[in-house]
């Protein structure tokens, strides 16, 4: 079974809770799909982050649809895109070009399938780009990426380069993950996002859309104490 067929077979198309204008292929039962993708299907790949609408991505997508001027007419990069939710929202909001990058081949397939389901064009790309530039993106988006120390530090350095060297505006959706370096961001808005208890152990996550302040001094390392 190819990745696109796998996405369609094991994740049903349904509206996103906080962004019902967008439909995604989402897993109804998280644990079963997690075991399947780590076992027979893609044991060498990351867990199926693409199969769920994570709180950070929902908040960022909600903000983009409510404030389309944020991306309208601009090239956009969606980093660690997962399901493609944020990328689809950016395209719906009128971005001139949307590039969605993920390290999981099944996520890339999910991005393409979900973009088609919503009638938008998204350039889905497989790869780890964190040590390079953000290309021509004028807006860089990242939903729910500060959940581990190692990843947070690499993501922060990438986002700082995108802002300082590329001049991009950087927006992050984050549901109070431990490794978000809050001192480097300013709050734009917050939402209470419904989430599956099987994933988050709660029914709602208070989730904030943040904007990176590239002028903030520091080492470029995430600090969970801030």
Residue 52, pLDDT above cutoff 80: yes
Torsion angles phi and psi, residue 52, rounded to 5: -135, 145
* Residue 196: predicted pLDDT: 79
Of all helices (H) and strands (E), which one includes residue 75?
A: strand 75-79
Task: Give 189's strand partners.
Answer: 209
* Residue 9: predicted pLDDT: 86
Residue 225, pLDDT above cutoff 70: no
Residue range 97-104: mean pLDDT, rounded: 97
> pLDDT confidence of 27, banded at 50, 70, 90?
confident
pLDDT digits (tens, 9 = 90+) for 177-196: 999 999 999 999 999 999 87
Question: If you classify domain 3-212 with CATH, what class do you get?
Answer: alpha beta
CA angle, 98 then 64 then 94, to 5°: 45
> pLDDT confidence of 221, banded at 50, 70, 90?
low
Torsion angles phi and psi, residue 109, rounded to 5: -65, -40
Residue 147, pLDDT above cutoff 70: yes
Residue 204, pLDDT above cutoff 50: yes
> pLDDT confidence of 220, banded at 50, 70, 90?
low
* Sheet strand arrangement including 169-174: 123-126, 97-102, 75-79, 139-143, 169-174, 204-212, 185-194
Higher pLDDT, 36 or 3: 3
* Residue 43: predicted pLDDT: 41
- Alpha-carbon span 133 to 31, nearest angstrom: 35
* Residue 217: predicted pLDDT: 55
- Are 99 and 78 in contact by the 8 Å Cβ rule? The answer is yes
Residue 75, pLDDT above cutoff 70: yes
Average pLDDT for the chain = 88
Higher pLDDT, 44 or 216: 216
């Amino acid at each position: 079974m190819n990745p696109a067929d796998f996405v369609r077979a094991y994740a049903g198309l349904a509206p996103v809770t906080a962004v019902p204008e967008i439909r995604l292929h989402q897993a109804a039962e998280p644990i079963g799909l997690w075991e399947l993708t780590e076992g027979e299907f893609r044991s060498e790949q990351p867990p199926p982050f693409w199969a769920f609408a994570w709180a950070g991505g929902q908040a960022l997508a909600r903000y983009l649809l409510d404030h389309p001027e944020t991306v309208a007419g601009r090239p956009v990069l969606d980093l660690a895109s997962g399901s493609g939710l944020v990328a689809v929202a950016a395209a719906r909001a009128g971005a001139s070009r949307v590039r969605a990058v993920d390290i999981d081949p099944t996520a890339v397939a999910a991005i393409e399938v979900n973009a088609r389901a919503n009638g938008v064009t998204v350039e889905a790309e497989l790869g780890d780009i964190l040590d390079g530039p953000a290309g021509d993106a004028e807006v860089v988006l990242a939903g729910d990426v500060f959940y581990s120390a190692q990843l947070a530090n690499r993501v922060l350095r990438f986002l700082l380069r995108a802002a300082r060297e590329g001049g991009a505006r950087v927006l992050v959706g984050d549901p109070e993950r431990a490794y978000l370096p809050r001192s480097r961001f300013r709050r734009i808005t917050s939402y209470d996002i419904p989430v599956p208890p099987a994933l988050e152990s709660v029914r709602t996550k208070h989730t904030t859309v943040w904007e990176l302040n590239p002028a903030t001094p520091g080492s470029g390392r995430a600090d969970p104490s801030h």
